[in-house]
Structure 1
Amino acid sequence: MINNFIKKFKKLIFTFGILLASDMALAKGMPKEYYNIKNSKESKEYFFDYMYKLIEKENLKILEERDFVKRTLSSNILTLDHSSMEFKKLLEIKKKYKIKKLYTYNEYIKKIDVIPPSQALAQAAVESGWGKSRFIKKANNIFGHWTYNPKIGMVPEKRTPGARHLIRVFSTLEDSISAYMLNLNRNYAYKSFREKRYNLRLKKINPDGLSLSQTMVNYSGIGHDYLSILKNVINSNKLNSYDKKFYMKVNTN
């Protein structure tokens, strides 16, 4: 009797765990408590603070890759064992960031770098309607990513007749942030962003979101108006404070 009860209890706990994990996997958008905030100032503060933590986390991952490349390529690369874990990891990074030549140090350094938090926060707010758009609620899509793959996309509500693009669906908000940062770091459309960031590095200046956001002319169909919107969001919400907070915590040079 007791053994049967224990078995049934364990089975119940196991089943509950699966259901809980499934619910978490299906969770979309910001935390539920965010959508219950009525005060606009409190809502903005919650949005920025919550998103900053996720943006910081992804930036730290990028810095780990950047540090690895620096360590690996600053050593004697001619003696790098092609069967070593370091070489295999370098190949993975080369493929991830679409680096043309394996040992081109400057190309790695230009592409593998942080996205200033203030810029990421401003674009997150604009592209997701402050976390309240259908894209983020249904697809964890913070930055308006498109796809043509029906396996990972959903149809936009107001898609132009004949258009084939889909809204990219992400499993988590973290995945959306990761895709956004990788997009800026390797897509040809944002070459000017990377060049400006690199030039700031050469001057020993931490990349700031206000100046770099003004290279995002190709990110939106509204062109230069988009730059004005980002500038206004950064300035009016004093988002440069998040840049300072981040650079005080980490050494990114």
Structure 2
Amino acid sequence: MSSGIRALWLFVPLVVFGFWGTLHTPDPDHDRDDETSDIALSKLPSLPDWSRADLPDFSTYRDTTEKKAAFFSFLYPRIVLANSRILIEREYLESLAGKDELSKSELTWLKSQAERLRVDEEPASEDMFRRLRNRLDVIPPSLVMAQAANESAWGTSRFALRGNNLFGQWCFSRGCGLVPQARVEGASHEVADFSSPYRSVRSYIQNLNRHPTYQRLRDIRLKARNSGDFASGSRLAAGLLGYSERGEDYVEEIRSMISYNNLDYYDEEFQNTVREDDPQGLFQLASAKQEKALLPGNTVADETSDEG
């Protein structure tokens, strides 16, 4: 084999690998550790202290059922926190869409959201509002939980323990994360590290909300919303074909995890807890002082009795 052909065979895998990286993984470089990265909005409360906690060591559990229960109990409040903040922003977006003229600060917020969610449309145009509605929306807890469990080995992977990374998210700046031990020679990606698991959840949701690979997921969600329905995690999983090179097999594995672990229960609880037409309720969820207040069966109102 000539040296030219050998060089080509070495080059092609790197090109394919690099192309796959643009599809498979989030690009959280712009949304990883900065605690002030939320776009300024007076309706959005400060993050509660518990959102900054590191990931517990789930490898200490010997009983699988207990480990799963602990994993879901840790993750669910962070999903509710992230989603409730999105719904506050969504409510504000709708208020702007109903105005004939926007103030300078309102227009700045709108442009910032468009930039964050990669919506390139005329500011305050109908097309901008339409596309932002499609992208500024929640991800059902069941899907978040199943993917987090799958990608992080139930919170026990090296990247989860050392980088609070629950979803295998990549970054592409030198030193932005942890170098994979089996990284292909010539590749430059790292597995992103986060200041907290909450930041990993937030970045994962943002990725599904803005990356072109997940347009199908967003379309399924929008169709359900327009019909007054809530898209379950199993339904949205159809839009994850590009998350893993395993394609359909990966989608079916996520769906199986949702079904086997009865994660639809958390979708139902989330629906019962969140009321988009109750701004005060969303504010309480987004600022809960104790994470247990967001667990199924509890309410934020219970916090007052706990504080004494």
Q: One fold, TM greater than 0.5? A: yes
User: Highest relative contact order (Cα 8 Å, sep 6+), 1 or 2?
Assistant: 2
Where structure 1 has 5 or more consecutive residues not aligned to the other structure, the ranges are 1-23
The counterpart of 2:102, out of the listed 70, 80, 99, is 80
1:30-45 counterparts in 2 under 5 A?
Answer: 30-32=55-57, 34-45=58-69
Q: Spell out the pairing of 1:14-29 with structure 2 (5 A cutoff).
A: 28=54
Map 1:26-175 → 2, pairs under 5 A: 28=54, 30-32=55-57, 34-76=58-100, 79-81=101-103, 83=104, 85-101=105-121, 102-103=123-124, 104-175=128-199
Query: Displacement, 1:159?
Result: 1.3
- RMSD value over aligned CA atoms? 1.7
Q: Pairwise mapping of residues 136-215 of structure 1 onto structure 2 (< 5 A)?
A: 136-215=160-239
Query: 8 Å contact 2:83–2:138 — kept in the other structure?
Result: yes
Q: Secondary structure at the match of 1:218?
A: coil
Distance apart, 1:59 and its partner CA: 0.6
The answer to whether the 8 A contact 1:117-1:209 is kept is yes
Structure 2 unmatched ranges of 5 or more = 1-49, 278-308
1:126-172 CA distance string (max 9 Å, x none) = 01010000010111111101112113122101112222221111111
Larger helix fraction of residues: 1
Whole-Å Cα distance in 2 between the matches of residues 251 and 154 of structure 1?
A: 39
For 1:164 and 1:150, the matched residues in 2 are separated by: 8
Alpha carbons of structure 1 residues 68 and 27: separation in structure 2 relative to 1, 3 Å: closer
Q: Aligned with 1:50: secondary structure?
A: helix
Identity of aligned residues (%): 32
Q: For 1:44 and 1:120, locate their aligned partners in 2 and report how far apart those are by CA, in whole Å.
A: 14
Q: Conserved in 1, the CA contact under 8 Å of 2:152 and 2:166?
A: yes
Structure 1 residue 251 displacement after superposition: 2.4
TM-score (norm 1): 0.84
Cα displacement (A) at 1:35: 3.3
Structure 1 residues 170-179 or 114-123, which shifts more? 170-179
SS of aligned partner of 1:167: strand
TM-score calculated relative to the size of structure 2: 0.69
Partner of 2:118, secondary structure, is: coil
Which stretches of structure 1, 4 residues or more, deviate above 4 A after TM superposition?
none
Partner SS for 2:241:
helix
